[in-house]
């Protein structure tokens, strides 16, 4: 179904209010195509009717689905593997350091990034106090992260020793999938939270992964997100960005120690 300029603006405003993401006018067709099944499912004859639905009190659930449809969730285990190797090597020399170690996968999507961090931390700090928090704006993605049921084909990206140690093959109705074991799951917690208005995450971390999400925001919002993140990073803690997302401007208090990896230093 075609979308008018007015309808695109209405829905784009809702997206901006909810996520901070504002689509360029050239994305109108993409919006219409991502929403076509939702219009059908809700018997909406026009995008305006759909807009009325998601902005009404009865449309709260559909609003969650709208957010999910309009955000990009691409992710996979050990994405940019070199960063996980760096994480391992960096903390290997510090295994005697104080615990707990707290890590945050900010924009965790369906959980692959958080569980990848968890496998590395368990390898490093087995039996000790470490945790991984995953947050994402999409309630659907957060539910999938909690469930941790992944297609078997995606396990190929997990280093063999971790696959053997932490992954469990699904059987019967879970044939063709795998999950991570209880030891890993018990260290991981997932919440819905908005990087621009964090409510759940009000503590600080030693490790933060903020990858492949800044690209969706304008410069002002990127700065607001980075401020929120740096505020929650302990001194000496590490910030990992996606490979196309290095900080454009030098930032006081953050020292670049590897491409796209920063350490928080005292001023």
What is the C-alpha separation between 177 and 169, in angstroms, rounded? 6
Q: Which is nearer to ligand SAM, 4 or 72 (CB)?
A: 72
Query: ∠ at Cα 200 (53, 183), nearest 5°?
Result: 110
What is the C-alpha separation between 102 and 107, in angstroms, rounded? 16
Taking the complex as a whole, the smallest distance from the CB of residue 243 to ligand SAM amounts, in Å, to 10
Kindly give the interhelix angle for 5-19 and 28-41, rounded to the nearest 10 degrees: 90
55 among annotated binding-site residues: no
What is the C-alpha separation between 228 and 135, in angstroms, rounded? 13
What is the C-alpha separation between 77 and 63, in angstroms, rounded? 28
Site membership for ligand SAM, residue 12 (CB under 6 A): no
Taking the complex as a whole, the smallest distance from the CB of residue 124 to ligand SAM amounts, in Å, to 21
Taking the complex as a whole, the smallest distance from the CB of residue 24 to ligand SAM amounts, in Å, to 16
Q: Return the residues of window 110-169 that contact ligand SAM according to CB under 6 A.
A: 113, 136-138, 141
Q: Which of 4, 9, 33, 72 binds ligand SAM (CB under 6 A)?
A: 72
Query: Per-residue x/- marks for ligand SAM, 229-248, CB under 6 A?
Result: -------------x------
Taking the complex as a whole, the smallest distance from the CB of residue 96 to ligand SAM amounts, in Å, to 30
- Omega cis (within 30) before 100: yes
Cα–Cα distances in angstroms (integers) from residue 103 to residues 50, 55, 232, 237, in the given order: 38, 35, 11, 10
211 among annotated binding-site residues: yes
Q: Which is nearer to ligand SAM, 88 or 216 (CB)?
A: 216
Site membership for ligand SAM, residue 10 (CB under 6 A): no
195 among annotated binding-site residues: yes
Cα–Cα distances in angstroms (integers) from residue 19 to residues 43, 172, 239, in the given order: 25, 38, 22
Site membership for ligand SAM, residue 83 (CB under 6 A): no
Q: Could you list the residues that contact ligand SAM (CB under 6 A)? A: 19-21, 71-75, 79, 107, 109, 113, 136-138, 141, 194-196, 211-213, 216, 242
- Bind-site residues: 75, 79, 113, 136, 194-195, 211-212
């Amino acid at each position: 179904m075609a979308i008018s300029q007015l309808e695109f603006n209405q829905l784009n405003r809702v997206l901006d209010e909810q996520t901070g993401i504002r689509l360029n006018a050239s994305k109108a067709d993409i919006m219409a195509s991502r929403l076509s099944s939702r219009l059908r499912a809700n018997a909406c004859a026009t995008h305006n009717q759909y807009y009325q639905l998601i902005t009404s009190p009865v449309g709260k659930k559909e609003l969650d689905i709208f957010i999910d449809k309009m955000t990009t969730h691409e992710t996979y285990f050990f994405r940019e593997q070199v960063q996980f190797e760096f994480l391992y090597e960096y903390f290997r020399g510090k295994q005697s350091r104080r615990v707990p170690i707290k890590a945050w996968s900010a924009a965790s999507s369906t959980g692959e990034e958080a569980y990848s961090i968890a496998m590395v931390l368990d390898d490093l700090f087995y039996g000790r106090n470490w945790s991984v928090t995953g947050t994402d704006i999409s309630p659907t993605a957060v539910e999938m992260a909690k469930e941790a049921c992944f297609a078997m084909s995606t396990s190929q990206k997990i280093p063999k020793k971790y696959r053997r140690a932490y992954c469990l093959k699904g059987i019967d109705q879970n044939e063709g999938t795998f999950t991570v074991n209880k030891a890993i799951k018990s260290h991981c917690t997932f919440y819905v939270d908005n990087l621009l208005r964090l409510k759940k995450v009000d503590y600080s971390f030693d490790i933060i992964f903020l990858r492949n999400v800044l690209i969706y925001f304008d410069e002002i919002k990127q700065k607001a997100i980075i401020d929120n993140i740096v505020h929650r990073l302990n001194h000496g803690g590490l910030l990992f960005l996606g490979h196309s997302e290095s900080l454009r401007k030098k930032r006081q208090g953050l020292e670049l120690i590897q491409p796209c990896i920063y350490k928080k230093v005292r001023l």
